[in-house]
Amino acid sequence: MSILDCKNALAADVCRVIADKYPQAAVTEEEIAGMFEYPPDAGMGDLALPCFKLARALRSAPPKIAADLASAFDGDGAVETAEAVNGYLNIKVSSAFLRDGLLPEILAEKENYGRLHTGDGKTAVFDYSSPNVAKPFHVGHLGSTAIGHSLKLIHEFAGWKTVAVNHLGDWGTQFGKLIVAYRRWGDKAEVEAKGIDELVALYVRFHKEAEEHPELEDEARAEFTRLENGDEQNIGLWKWFIALSIEEYKKTYAQLNIEFDHYTGESFYVDKVGEVIDLLREKDLLKVDQGASIVDLEEYGMPPALILKSDGSTIYAARDLAAAIYRKRTFDFSRCVYVTSAQQSLHFAQIFKVLGLMGFDWADQMVHVPYGTVSIDGGKLATRTGNVVLLKDIFARATEKVKGIMAEKNPDLENADEVAEAVGVGAIVFHYLSNSRIKDINFVIDDVLSFEGNTGPYAQYTYARCASIIEKAGGVPADADFAGYEPQEPEKALLLELSRFPEAVADALASYEPMVITRYVLSVCAAFNRFYHECRIVGAESGEASKFRVSLTAAVKQVIGSALHLICLKTPEKI
């Protein structure tokens, strides 16, 4: 039984006491379960119920409430002790409860331990990563990609059916610029050989040349107009640029173990915008302002949503509306999640409001998950100036660093290159997801590539250490009976950490925050390494202790493995 189960059971007990001693009060088990806290000091207990939160409902003083509740627990079941202290009900969870309930459950359920069923029967669509075609996959894309994929995995772990959509930026005047640059300075063989790197070089050159020759901007707009009008040569170049880009992006996705269900970029929705415009006019929502067509959102505290430019052409807001309608019809989602920079928060607030005004009652199923900006050594990223750090280059540097460390510590390791990439790439992703997603991040490369302290390599190494211990012990005991074994304090502390995994998943799901899982992993690793140093595992003081500790190690390995998977990290058995 997890700590979530324990809280629910305790909440039921508390409600029974309240019904008996405070019959006038109306408090639900769900409310009580949500009030439990973790004391800052383990000496105060494993769980605490702050009774001042009940004072108004129960019309009594917190110390008296705590005393009344404490008297109802006699040491049976999950509770070892219940003590009233300064208005708090402090509870110590029984070691036997963890030993006989939790540990066998983890060993039996394996990868299913911690799974929730809150999403059973529901579909969630995730729009994430979404780089602009013919531009590099740089460190600035890591946020949308890692956060988005982690949230997708967390939803799957909670029972949701998920659909991963890569909404490529594959439409717009930048393609006019690239077509002009390619025709003026490009070489087909060079582009085929260098791929997206050469396309980026051409794009950067266009902007440099345009500073001296601004007429190039007009030429680019004209070429994009030809593309919009179906010019065969321009469409051919455009499709080529897209194919080269996706081929390059898939290499990075493979390193991150990511696959998308659909690559449907902006261009996919161009022919679907007409219906959106018709619906907006039908609802009398489109208004003309200085020649442009807008939806007035002043009443809702937002600036107008621009739908059509003054020349009648659409912009990405119209395509986003078309995409939302298409996805609802196609996937019948219960939740549609967009993972983009916080700079687009207003845009999505406008889109969701317009959908509601259009009469779509599913508009409240749309979710924007914002994240902070990324800079490199304090410098802003900008493709047009060439100021980017490619994600593949950071991954390569991290992988080479891991190779060097492994060559010293484990020179005979099989699949060394594969393991080095898993650990190197994992270090970058873990570093990013260790922070709150809304926080702006300045990637200082030396810090990112430091593997000391609370890092991805530390977590992966702890997982591998568990695997090594289990192998050395000859496997997990199949006939282990722990009923007579009394766990020592480090063992109980570790069991408590393992019991919190389903709660961590629930918290990450509710807050759309992978950092919850990242920090949970570090807590488990810290508890395990304390246990490892204080308790002999293989060859322990008794066969009973050894069986228990090897089984506990297997449970730790399972939980760390599941948690690392949820934050996009691989789990090598040997490092």
Per-residue pLDDT, averaged over 260-273, amounts to 94
Strands across the sheet containing 305-308: 286-289, 292-295, 305-308
Q: Are 575 and 262 in contact (CB under 8 A)?
A: no
Residue 478, both tokens: 């199949």
Q: Are 417 and 411 in contact (CB under 8 A)?
A: no
- Residue 478 pLDDT: 83
**Average pLDDT score, the chain:** 92
Domain 3-93 has CATH 3.40.50.620: no
Q: Are 292 and 284 in contact (CB under 8 A)?
A: no
Residue 553, both tokens: 């190690």
- Residue 450 pLDDT: 75
- Write the CB contacts of 196 (distance below 8 Å, at least 6 apart in sequence): 134, 135, 136, 137, 244, 245, 248
Q: Are 518 and 460 in contact (CB under 8 A)?
A: no
Task: Dihedral sign for Cα 506, 512, 518, 520, please.
Answer: negative
Task: Dihedral sign for Cα 545, 548, 551, 552, please.
Answer: negative
Per-residue pLDDT, averaged over 522-545, amounts to 94
pLDDT for 448 beyond 80: no
pLDDT for 334 beyond 50: yes
pLDDT for 383 beyond 50: no
Percentage of residues of the chain with pLDDT beyond 90 = 76
Chain segment 498-515, per-residue pLDDT in tens = 999 999 999 999 999 999
Count other C-beta atoms under 10 Å from residue 490's C-beta.
17
Chain segment 231-261, per-residue pLDDT in tens = 999 999 999 999 999 999 999 999 999 999 9
* Prediction pTM value: 0.93
Per-residue pLDDT, averaged over 314-332, amounts to 95
Burial-class residue 454 by CB neighbours within 10 Å (0-12, 13-18, 19+). middle
Q: Angle CA(8)–CA(124)–CA(501) in degrees, nearest 5? A: 35
pLDDT band at 375 (very low <50, low <70, confident <90, very high): confident
Rounded to the nearest 5°, which phi and psi values hold at 483?
-55, -35
- Residue 380 pLDDT: 57
Q: Are 412 and 398 in contact (CB under 8 A)?
A: no
Chain segment 278-310, per-residue pLDDT in tens = 999 999 999 999 889 999 999 999 999 999 988
Rounded to the nearest 5°, which phi and psi values hold at 450?
-85, 125
Q: Tell me which residues are annotated as active site.
A: 135, 138, 141
Count other C-beta atoms under 10 Å from residue 320's C-beta.
25
CATH 3.30.1360.70 residue ranges for the chain: 3-93
First to last CA, the chain: 32
- Residue 385 pLDDT: 47
- Between the alpha carbon of residue 320 and those of residues 147, 164, 316, 325, the distances in Å are 21, 16, 6, 9
Q: What distance in Å separates the CA atoms of residue 157 and residue 561, rounded to the nearest whole number? A: 13
- Residue 269 pLDDT: 95
Count other C-beta atoms under 10 Å from residue 404's C-beta.
11
pLDDT band at 76 (very low <50, low <70, confident <90, very high): low
Of 221, 214, 187, the closest CA to residue 202 belongs to 187
CATH 1.10.730.10 residue ranges for the chain: 391-566
* More confident call, 127 vs 76: 127
Beta-ladder partners of 305 = 295
Chain segment 106-148, per-residue pLDDT in tens = 999 999 999 999 999 999 999 999 998 988 788 888 999 999 9
CATH number, span 391-566: 1.10.730.10
- Write the CB contacts of 102 (distance below 8 Å, at least 6 apart in sequence): 1, 2, 495, 498, 499
Q: What distance in Å separates the CA atoms of residue 457 and residue 464, rounded to the nearest whole number? A: 10
pLDDT band at 374 (very low <50, low <70, confident <90, very high): confident
Beta strands in 334-493 (DSSP E): 335-341, 366-371, 374-376, 441-443
Chain segment 27-47, per-residue pLDDT in tens = 999 999 999 999 988 888 999
- Residue 379 pLDDT: 57
Instruction: Average the pLDDT over each of 52-56, 167-171, 389-393 and give the range with the smallest value.
Output: 389-393
Q: Are 423 and 457 in contact (CB under 8 A)?
A: yes
Q: What distance in Å separates the CA atoms of residue 146 and residue 256, rounded to the nearest whole number? A: 8
Chain segment 196-220, per-residue pLDDT in tens = 989 989 999 999 999 999 999 999 9
